[in-house]
Amino acid sequence: MNPARRNQLLAIAGFALIIVVALIVISQSGGDDDGGGGSGAGGLSLAGIEQRGNALGDPDAPLTMVEFADLQCPFCAEFATGGALAGIVDEYVRAGDLRIEFEPLTFIGPDSVRAARVAVAAGEQGRLWDFVDLFYENQGPENSGYADDEFITRLLERIEGLDVDRVLADREEGSVTRALEQAARRAEDAGIDSTPSFLLGPTGGELEPLAVDSLDFGAFEGPIEDALAAANG
Amino acid sequence: MSDRTLALAAGALTVLGIGIAGYLTWVHYAELSPVCVGGGGGCERVQNSEYAELAGVPVAVIGLLGYLAIAASFAIRGSNGRLAGAFLGLVGAGFSAYLTYLELFVIDAICQWCVANFAVITALAVVLFVRAAR
């Protein structure tokens, strides 16, 4: 190969590398533009914590916890608003040790479906956890029809930086339907038959069912510490 | 290996890539789930992830445009066309490698179509680079 051709090939390889790096930077910043930490309009302090889709926390956190929950489920509300989730978020998520994925199930009834669709659509703007927190704080009687557009809109309007009209439009999208179907399948695959249920394990690795005997922060602290110690070798 | 063989291989891989990227583009806009061998929700999970779009453009569309650009480079005679093809192949393979990394370590789900695309674009990049080096 003559030197001129070799230089041309090195130049295109170098330029290709620059373009790939630029594409990766755009890809990584795309989620932050839509998310990047909610305002924490509810009781949960979410400010400064990254949100992407259904995930809360640093994508590179060593541990991942999956929460399967129905937005109408009172025990899920107890977990979300009773201090356990706040403790987990403050102690582990904010520290970058744990990320949490929220998988919305809709087995209780139509209000669950309406709420879950909005949660997923809010997730497309990086605000799922803000909505979920607000919803649990304002949870009404099961299947009373309370989760109507007026109720939903009122909650959404409390979330800073959220495009409410876009959420209301996006909730009807096929991508939202697929996300809910996927959550249901994931629950089925994991043998989940009640809510809230949890999986815990190393990020990107095998997640195991997390059985807790109460919905207090203390019940989660031990298993998370053990998993963290295992993940950190 | 003759230049003709390399050209035929590049053409075949490009057609294959256009097929894969075209199919993924179609299911994206038709709001369908990609057919995955052996079932599983990997493709849906990947397709529904926040990484399925780049600056608002579905990555399947970007891939399709990339393959079409490579096909267009075949029409440019001489070394400029070959260098353009090699450049596009390298960019495609590099970005596809990044998307495969995301599937394995971030999204935690594998889409067989994306893996197939990664294999095709990597092979295509090698062929195009070897052609350009001659």
* Buried/exposed code over B40-64 (b: 16+ C-beta within 10 A; e: otherwise): ebbbbbbbbbbbbbbeeebbbbbbb
A213–chain B nearest CA distance, Å? 28
Per-residue pLDDT reduced to its tens digit, A154-191: 899 888 889 999 999 999 999 999 999 999 999 999 99
Among residues of chain A, what percentage have pLDDT more than 70?
Answer: 94
Contacts of A15 in chain B (CB under 8 A): 87
Among residues of chain A, what percentage have pLDDT more than 90?
Answer: 70
Query: Using N-to-C axis directions, what is the helix angle for B3-29 and B59-73, rounded to 10°?
Result: 150
ipTM: 0.89
Beta partners for residue A68, in sequence order: A103, A197
Question: Which among A19, A27, A203 is the nearest to B91, CB-wise?
Answer: A19
Global pTM reads: 0.55
A83 pLDDT above the threshold of 70: yes
Q: Is A59 in CB contact (< 8 Å) with chain B?
A: yes
Asked if A27 lies within 8 A of B51 by C-beta distance, the reply is yes
Cα distances (angstroms) measured from residue A143 to each of A71, A112, A115: 11, 8, 11
Q: Is B106 in CB contact (< 8 Å) with chain A?
A: yes
Q: Is A163 in CB contact (< 8 Å) with chain B?
A: no
B97 pLDDT above the threshold of 50: yes
